[in-house]
Amino acid sequence: MSMTKLPKLPSIRDLIRIYNLRAKQQLSQNFLMDKNITDKIVHLAGLELENSLCVEVGPGPGLLTRSILDKGAKNVVAVEKDPRFVPTLEQLQDASNGRFGVVLGDMLEIDHGEIVRRGLSLESNADKHIEAFDHVHLLGNLPFSVATPLLIQWLHLLTARQGIFTSPNVTMSLMFQKEVGLRIVAPASNTERGRLSVVAQSICDAFKIYGVPSSSFVPRPKVDGMVVQLRPLAKPLLKSSLGTLEHVVRFSFMKRRKMLARIFKDWDPKHIALLEECEIDPTLRPQDVTTEKFCNLAQLIEQRGIQLPQ
Ligand code: SAM
């Protein structure tokens, strides 16, 4: 048997039935059952196979995990919050030829050191640091209810180069609900443009790699899914702390239909000058401002120590 192919395993449908894994709505459990779809996601994610760590968030019964392993990934660590999936994931671990490990925990709270240690334990002769891997791939059919907080947390870790983001090359291929995915990738002047677009694009190149209709999930959610890939920019546009940029866009998008001149005048008429200093046309609405200009504005506000309204 090939070292990088999984042996024949029971179907995900059968596992769900045998272990009585009824989906829990509070954990946003909407499972993918079609291996063609999970294989396609992994194919489009473009995994580097040599010396890389794949971190999957929320493997559930494990179909996406199977596709990652079938692709030939040698080091896969999955973080799952729901202990009911441990038996099925342990089965996959046994079948993986030492290529897969599970960490039970909440991805929002987990110590990334635990993920890295689990990954390193799969490798023989590996250093004891994340730098031992040339690439880190973060993948997941994310729980929709916490997908945005997870992404925001990862963007903060990426700017600080902490946790699994200490690696020089990190690629994220993540399933969001379509509306959130469209926001993340929306360029300036797109109708979907919002806070998340600016914050994500200040440090990452973000683009859609795949659309997944709601009918592909079990149980079927009310919304479609969209897989977005985020790759850190070689030269980030962000020049302030990410927190300051978040604050600037939160404030600016609070009245998204109004012109920036009006938004800034309502705050304090003297602050309209900040827009001019950053060469931002004050007659624009927030969604029409480029990510670069928002980053310049955040930099200026931070440098001057100006307090934005809460
Ligand atoms: N990957 C599986 C698939 O594609 O069929 C399941 C995806 S399902 C949308 C989301 C998964 O994330 C569930 O298994 C759920 O238990 C898990 N989950 C929910 N919240 C989580 C969290 N905070 N940390 C880790 N896993 C979480």
**Ligand 1 and 57: CB distance under 6 A:** yes
Task: Give me the architecture of the 12-232 domain, per CATH.
Answer: 3-Layer(aba) Sandwich (3.40)
Give the residue-averaged pLDDT of 79-103.
96
Residue with the nearest Cα to atom 10 of ligand 1? 143
80 is in an annotated binding site: yes
Question: pLDDT tens digit string along 5-58?
Answer: 898 888 988 888 887 888 888 888 999 999 999 999 999 999 988 889 999 999
| Structure confidence at residue 132 as a pLDDT band (50, 70, 90) | confident
- Beta carbons of 187 and 205 less than 8 angstroms apart: no
In angstroms, the CA 71 to CA 51 distance is: 14
- Beta carbons of 35 and 62 less than 8 angstroms apart: no
225 is in an annotated binding site: no
- Ligand 1 centre to CA of 259 (Å) is 40
At residue 115, the pLDDT reads 95
At residue 177, the pLDDT reads 97
- Ligand 1 centre to CA of 105 (Å) is 11
125 is in an annotated binding site: no
In angstroms, the CA 307 to CA 309 distance is: 7
**Ligand 1 and 31: CB distance under 6 A:** yes
The CATH 3.40.50.150 portion of the chain extends over 12-232
Question: pLDDT tens digit string along 202-225?
Answer: 999 999 999 999 999 999 999 999
User: What is the C-alpha radius of gyration for the chain, rounded to an integer number of angstroms?
Assistant: 21
The CATH 1.10.8.100 portion of the chain extends over 242-303
- Token digits of residue 217: 């999930």
- Ligand 1 centre to CA of 273 (Å) is 47
**Ligand 1 and 119: CB distance under 6 A:** no
Give the residue among 111, 139, 110 at the shortest CA–CA distance from 52.
139
Give the residue among 104, 100, 107 at the shortest CA–CA distance from 121.
100
- Out of 141, 176, 216, mutate this one to test ligand 1's pocket (max ligand atoms within 8 Å of CB): namely 141
Residue with the nearest Cα to atom 23 of ligand 1? 106
In angstroms, the CA 300 to CA 103 distance is: 42
Question: pLDDT tens digit string along 139-191?
Answer: 999 999 999 999 999 999 999 999 999 998 999 999 999 999 999 999 999 99
At residue 122, the pLDDT reads 85
- Ligand 1 centre to CA of 196 (Å) is 22
Give the residue among 155, 137, 1 at the shortest CA–CA distance from 64.
137
Give the residue-averaged pLDDT of 130-136.
88
Q: How many CB atoms lie within 10 A of CB 26?
A: 7
- Ligand 1 centre to CA of 11 (Å) is 18
276 is in an annotated binding site: no
32 is in an annotated binding site: yes
**Ligand 1 and 58: CB distance under 6 A:** yes
| Structure confidence at residue 1 as a pLDDT band (50, 70, 90) | very low
Residue with the nearest Cα to atom 18 of ligand 1? 58
| Structure confidence at residue 127 as a pLDDT band (50, 70, 90) | low
Res 2 pLDDT > 60: no
- Ligand 1 centre to CA of 146 (Å) is 10
Q: Which residues are paired to 140 by β-bridges? A: 174
Res 294 pLDDT > 80: yes
Res 125 pLDDT > 70: no
User: Residue 195: in which H helix or E strand, if any?
Assistant: helix 195-201
30 is in an annotated binding site: yes
CATH of domain 242-303: 1.10.8.100
Res 3 pLDDT > 70: no
- Ligand 1 centre to CA of 177 (Å) is 13
In angstroms, the CA 252 to CA 256 distance is: 7
- Token digits of residue 178: 């379509």
